Structure 1
Amino acid sequence: MNYSFDAGQAIEVSLENPRFQGENAPFTLTGLSSEKYLELILKVYAEHNGMTLEISKLKEGDRLIISDAWDSYKNLGPGLFIAGGTGITPFVAILRQLNVENRVAGSQLLFANKTEKDIFLQQELGQMLGKNFINILSREKKDNFLYGHINPEILKDQISRPNQPFYICGPGNFAEQIRDQLLELGIDKDMIIISY
């Protein structure tokens, strides 16, 4: 593959489909540049009938138009990754890269989902992070999972080092809410990383 990118970078995707003429959508690359293929993880909502559904229907030989990679999140090393649902995707390649470099041990992932079946890559992330893979479910109470929504008390319990990077991504205003909670806990705003 002759396409280079850094862990945490994203691309703009468009389709050779008249229905999506002139439309681009951003997606984070979840694989590593050293692999033979590009990997994207998409959550498809059939009822939305949008670009992700159309991408999910592509077959071998179909064309996907992609831009050069651009910085979505910079890999600033081990830290606390806080993701809501599909907000995990920018962190997948960073965690995989840290793992390849044998530096993932200093990282934690706090991953918020509605139910256990919504958790992306549960086995891989569990193997990579062990006890530092913390899941919180908002619609299901289960053993070994936190229950509810991320709040200052949960964050305080998970922060082992206040001077580490805090990577945040999630739907809607998730990132802004978590950022505000971290600021209230005294985390330096320069250590909080939010992107698209």
Structure 2
Amino acid sequence: MAHTLAITKILDVTHNVRQFTFEKPEGFAFTPGQAAEVGIDRDGWRDAGHPFTFTALPDWDDLQFTIKIYPEHNGLTEQIGTLKVGDSFIVGDPWGTIEYKGRGTFIAGGAGVTPFIAILRMLRDRGELSGHRLIFANKREADIILRDEFDAMPGLDVVYVLSGENKGGFEHGRIDKPMLERLIGSTDQHFYVCGPDGMVESINDALKDMGADPEGLVFEE
């Protein structure tokens, strides 16, 4: 079932990422990490069917997406970048295979961090972040989504990886097996992986080579 939901607030998170807060239908339920197929209430875009992850928590009064805008793609996110308060999303039913299954390491590339935002917020509110790590890869420091919020999460160990800049305080390069071996330690934990398809595949392969249980790998299938 699709819902037409008006935007109530828009916030710039980075130079190309915006956070949209919008109406929540009565009885609408989802699990942190889940997404929905989304269009916008404009001619030609109502059935766009692009998945975006909810970054609100289920008990919030509103829903929220945190979306990277691609003006050059001439597609849905370019259109979303022009939305204003009062415009509407068309949101389908929640779905997805990323959900919290236990203590572990979250590995994200760029906008692939969005399924983890609600999960980490949930763990923060429960006081259960200790022992979790976020390894977050971006091209540049300016691209890091919600850095201040992640840095302020008590008990969360955060490692930022930059591929396009070499700066003090950041890992440099791409997340590969040698980097994972250096950063992770024991593979006796869950691993949550989200990002571009090639990145997810290579990280999952590296983790399995390191001895991680394939059943402990959580990613969008």
Contact 2:107 2:192 survives alignment (8 Å): yes
Q: For residue 113 of structure 1, what is the amino acid of its counterpart?
A: N
Partner-residue secondary structure (3-state), 1:52: helix
When you count helix as a share of all residues, which structure comes out higher?
A: 1
Partner-residue secondary structure (3-state), 1:67: strand
Aligned twin of 2:170: 145
What is the Cα deviation at residue 64 of structure 1? 1.2
The question of 1:76 aligning with 2:101 is answered: yes
Q: For residue 49 of structure 2, what is the amino acid of its counterpart?
A: N
The question of 1:47 aligning with 2:101 is answered: no
Aligned twin of 1:27: 52
Contact 1:10 1:71 survives alignment (8 Å): yes
Aligned twin of 1:122: 147
Partner-residue secondary structure (3-state), 2:63: coil
Q: For residue 161 of structure 2, what is the amino acid of its counterpart?
A: I
What is the Cα deviation at residue 72 of structure 1? 3.6
What is the Cα deviation at residue 39 of structure 1? 1.0
The question of 1:63 aligning with 2:88 is answered: yes
Aligned length in residues:
196
Q: For residue 100 of structure 2, what is the amino acid of its counterpart?
A: N
- TM-score using structure 2 length: 0.83
Aligned twin of 1:134: 159
2:203 counterpart (174, 178, 189): 178
Q: State how far apart, in whole Å, the 2-side matches of 1:10 and 1:128 are.
A: 23
| C-alpha distance after superposition, 1:69-106 (max 9, x if no partner) | 11341111321000011110011100110111111112
Q: State how far apart, in whole Å, the 2-side matches of 1:160 and 1:38 are.
A: 37
TM-align CA RMSD: 1.6
Unaligned residue ranges in structure 2 (runs of 5+): 1-23
Report the identity percentage: 39
Identify if the C-alpha distance between structure 1 residues 99 and 21 changes in structure 2 by more than 3 Å, giving closer, same or farther. closer
Aligned twin of 1:192: 217
Q: State how far apart, in whole Å, the 2-side matches of 1:150 and 1:163 are.
A: 19
Contact 2:131 2:155 survives alignment (8 Å): no
Aligned twin of 2:39: 14
Contact 2:35 2:52 survives alignment (8 Å): yes
When you count strand as a share of all residues, which structure comes out higher?
A: 2
What is the Cα deviation at residue 19 of structure 1? 2.2
